[in-house]
Amino acid sequence: MREVRVRFAPSPTGALHIGGIRTALYNYLLARKYNGTMILRIEDTDQTRYVPGAEAYIVESLAWAGIKIDEGVGVGGPYAPYRQSERNSLYKTYAQKLVDEGHAYYAFDTEQDLEEMRKRTPNAQYDSVTRLQMKNSLTLTGSEVDQKLSMNEKHVIRLKISGKEEIQLTDLIRGSIRVQSSQIDDKVLMKSDGMPTYHLANVVDDYLMKISHVIRGEEWLPSAPLHVLLYRYLGWENDMPQFVHLPLLLKPDGNGKLSKRDADKMGFPIFPLNWQDPESGHVAIGYRETGYLPEALINFLAFLGWNPGTEQELFSMEQLIEAFTLERIGKAGARFDIQKAQWFNQHYLRSKPDDVLIGYLNDSLKKENIDCSQEKAKKIVAIMKERVTFPKDFWEQGKFFFIAPDSFDEQVATKKWNNDAVKVLTAFSSEIKSMNNLNAETAKETLEMVTSKLGIKTGQILQSLRMSITGGASGPDLMMTMEILGNAEVGNRIHFAIETLKVKVT
RNA sequence: GGUCUGUUCGUCUAACGGUUAGGACACCAGAUUUUCAUUCUGGUAAUAGGGGUUCGAUUCCCCUACGGACUACCA
């Protein structure tokens, strides 16, 4: 088998989309599986869409996701440079070669010329029939062309595609694909600004960089036959890479491919990391900042369009590399389901060692300027562990350990808060006041003692107790919560609740 | 509109002609938890439709329907 060399080749036009991470991941898995090389190439040939910071963002995103680059932007390598804007002379050389050999030609048409041509015929394209009516080196005389070129008139170089040729290509996911060359237009290879288009740059670089597999999104499938033609005209058909067009990521609901709009609308991230738009200054929150662990995101993404064929669903990167095969990538687009991502995250988060989890809580506390003993943090993490999905949940769902509630859950306050509850809580708080060691066990004993004395069922008032201590209607084990808080704090909170809510008792 | 491409539970998917069509997420129910959650157990739920081929089609072929991508001097 040919040496595996794959590339992830995004263009720096903004933040990398989550789908881009998946594409990079599949490339990476194949490279690692076969001891190949993972290359990062930046396709920055569109100067009008260049966004500063986007390249650094891509590099950082991949690093965070655990996708290591062996060669390319940021690390260098034998085929440098890996930024297309720095490889322009190469593209020019090959474009010229194509012109010289009659596979490409100069075109001088203005935007209006093109517009008129398109209006003339339905489904118009610049091709073997329409090019005869346009201003190009096929219709103009040699001296006219020379004159225009020497006067530096604006022009592009177009690929000359014959009208009747069948192009066959094999996609490793979709099998054999046949297209008639008459369906393809004479694509621009070199733009009038002197930069190559994607098609030329891509083919030239993939060839020169000895790419073995082109693994990219399905949106490229329609132009794959064009690329085959380019390889053919350039004389590189025998070294052509294998094509692998990945199914797209689709909207969670409705139709179409996943977009930033959907993500915003449904409240989940679309970018791996926070991204500040340089123009608007608006910050889009990333997976990292939301609290997704890279291993969870990777596991989730890997399964969007691929599966190992077994019932195992939890895979580390190493295990993915081991199990990955191109053959098991699906054909149909995969709907994006953030709930599944959350489930993966929950799983990976809970399987972290306790000291890591304590670290998460401490991170939040530091931000809030709250001191907390290691012992207390340890106890909190122990009882919160089974309830969290994101690292910040330790703080967000456990705030009450540090801040006494100033308001109370309305449902509980109206439905459960009654004379019995107040009676029990009053008695309970005066019982524990004198205790010097309130722990989960003694708290439970005391509570049971109080309720049985008053002839009230503990279950009846438990939610009121919780509410008065935490403000909320749900939370971790109440007895442990009281142990962590200590008897003085528990007593204070009960008093505050009784004071605040007594008006509602009739 | 044209070209290419796809279609199994709500979602991700398994089943490379023969299965009671399997798993996971989500959802629902029961048990545990003297609350919520966790955990455990169970459950609802799918081969887009129509023709072929075949002893037998989720699986192969055709048509229809419905999606998706592309259709720029953007990638």
User: Is the C-beta atom of A366 closer than 7 angstroms to strand B?
Assistant: no
Measured from the Cβ of residue A193, the count of other Cβ atoms closer than 10 Å reads: 11
Q: How far is the CA of A432 from the C1' of B65 (A)?
A: 71
Give residue A441's pLDDT.
Answer: 87
Nucleotide nearest the Cα atom of A457 (by C1'): B34
| Separation CA A258–CA A341 (nearest Å) | 15
**Taking Cα atoms as reference points, which of A364, A357, A350 lies closest to residue A380?**
A357
pLDDT in tens, A328-348: 999 999 999 999 999 999 999
Q: How far is the CA of A321 from the C1' of B22 (A)?
A: 25
- Phi and psi, residue A98, nearest 5°: -65, -40
User: Is the C-beta atom of A333 closer than 7 angstroms to strand B?
Assistant: yes
Report angle CA A385, A377, A380 to the nearest 5 degrees: 40
| Separation CA A192–CA A108 (nearest Å) | 9
Q: How far is the CA of A209 from the C1' of B29 (A)?
A: 59
pLDDT in tens, A48-60: 999 999 999 999 9
Active-site residue, A378 included: no
Nucleotide nearest the Cα atom of A327 (by C1'): B16
Q: How far is the CA of A254 from the C1' of B54 (A)?
A: 39
Give residue A483's pLDDT.
Answer: 93
With distances taken from each CA to the C1' atom of nucleotide B10, the closest residue turns out to be A253
Q: How far is the CA of A232 from the C1' of B8 (A)?
A: 40
The one-letter amino acid code at A341 reads: A
pTM as predicted: 0.94
- Phi and psi, residue A437, nearest 5°: -140, 90
Distance (Å) of CA A226 to CA A146, A187, A200, A230? 28, 8, 10, 6
Residue A408 CB burial class (10 angstroms; 0-12, 13-18, ≥19): buried
Mean pLDDT of A254-271: 88
Give residue A155's pLDDT.
Answer: 97
Report angle CA A271, A313, A3 to the nearest 5 degrees: 75
User: Is the C-beta atom of A489 closer than 7 angstroms to strand B?
Assistant: no
The one-letter amino acid code at A151 reads: M
Residues in A 387-416 whose C-beta is less than 7 A from nucleic strand B are: 387
- Dihedral over Cα of A208, A214, A216, A219: its sign: positive
Give residue A413's pLDDT.
Answer: 84
| Separation CA A268–CA A253 (nearest Å) | 13
Give the β-pairing of A166-171 and A175-180.
antiparallel
pLDDT in tens, A4-51: 999 999 999 999 999 999 999 999 999 999 999 999 999 999 999 999
User: Is the C-beta atom of A332 closer than 7 angstroms to strand B?
Assistant: yes
Cα A505–chain centre separation: 51
Residue A163 pLDDT class (50, 70, 90 cuts)? confident
Q: Provide the mean pLDDT of chain A.
A: 93
Residue A503 pLDDT class (50, 70, 90 cuts)? low
User: Is the C-beta atom of A325 closer than 7 angstroms to strand B?
Assistant: no
A468-492 burial code (b ≥16 CB/10 A, e <16): bbbbbbebbebbbbbbbbbbeebbb
Collect all residues with Cβ–Cβ distance below 8 Å to A166 and sequence separation of at least 6: A178, A179, A180, A181
Mean pLDDT of A466-471: 92
Mean pLDDT of A130-158: 96
For residue A104, the cross-strand partners are: A159
| Separation CA A283–CA A122 (nearest Å) | 43
pLDDT in tens, A428-456: 998 888 887 788 888 988 998 898 888 88
Q: How far is the CA of A329 from the C1' of B8 (A)?
A: 16
Could you list the beta-strand ranges (E) of A82-228: 104-107, 156-159, 166-171, 175-180, 188-190, 213-217
Q: What percent of chain A has pLDDT over 70?
A: 99
User: Is the C-beta atom of A455 closer than 7 angstroms to strand B?
Assistant: no
Q: What percent of chain A has pLDDT over 90?
A: 80
> Of the listed A260, A340, A433, A444, which one is catalytic?
A260
pLDDT in tens, A356-382: 999 999 999 999 999 999 999 999 999
Is the per-residue pLDDT at A501 higher than 90?
no
**DSSP states along A317-362:** HHHHHHH--GGGB-SS-EE--HHHHHHHHHHHHHTS-HHHHHHHHH
Residue A436 CB burial class (10 angstroms; 0-12, 13-18, ≥19): exposed
Protein-contacted positions of strand B (CB under 7 Å): 1-8, 10-15, 22-26, 34-39, 67-75
Is the per-residue pLDDT at A233 higher than 60?
yes
Tokens at residue A47, please? Answer: 């100067």
Nucleotide nearest the Cα atom of A451 (by C1'): B34
With distances taken from each CA to the C1' atom of nucleotide B1, the closest residue turns out to be A123
User: Is the C-beta atom of A303 closer than 7 angstroms to strand B?
Assistant: yes
Is the per-residue pLDDT at A506 higher than 60?
no
Give residue A66's pLDDT.
Answer: 98
Distance (Å) of CA A86 to CA A73, A203, A205, A208? 11, 16, 12, 14
Residue A275 pLDDT class (50, 70, 90 cuts)? very high
| Separation CA A466–CA A474 (nearest Å) | 8
Nucleotide nearest the Cα atom of A10 (by C1'): B75
Q: How far is the CA of A492 from the C1' of B51 (A)?
A: 78
- Return the HEC string of A416-433: CCCHHHHHHHHHHHHHHH
